[in-house]
Amino acid sequence: MPYANYVRLLGHVGSPSEKYYTATGTPVYRFTLAVNRPRDRGTDWFYITVFDPNAKKTWLSEIQKGDLVEVEGRIQITQGDTRTFVDIIARRVIRFPRCKAKEEDVIVLEEDLENDEPLY
């Protein structure tokens, strides 16, 4: 039976990225991501870890709290002494430009408002 460990998230950065290095010298960036649940049912928080062996993702050091990003990767669960940590090991991160949306730029489909089923 085939298995897949794949996640795709769209949310806002909750903390500026921190840069550190592995024992072999590979740059690693880490930041938190807030993803809102549908219909004001709360927010889920994730730790995002990005390994950058070619040091090409220099804009990751410029990520700021509130930036909108999309993350693709895999889930990694680590059991600590008192807590369980859920990390997303990213293989792709897209940062969307900051801009103010105008009312005419927003489209709301009426059928979505009437559907009371959870989206997840």
Residues 33-89 have pLDDT tens digits of 999 988 888 898 999 998 877 666 667 888 889 999 999 999 999 888 888 888 999
CATH architecture of 7-114: Beta Barrel (2.40)
Q: How confident is the model at residue 8 (pLDDT cuts 50, 70, 90)?
A: very high
Q: What is the pLDDT of residues 103-115, one digit of tens each?
A: 554 445 444 444 4
Burial class (CB in 10 A: 0-12, 13-18, 19+), 90: buried
Give the mean pLDDT of 82-107. Answer: 75
- Would you list the DSSP string of 46-108? EEEEEE-TT---GGGGG--TT-EEEEEEEEEEEE-SS-EEEEEEEEEEEEPPP-PPPGGG---
**Rg value, the chain, Cα:** 17
Q: What is the pLDDT of residue 64?
A: 87
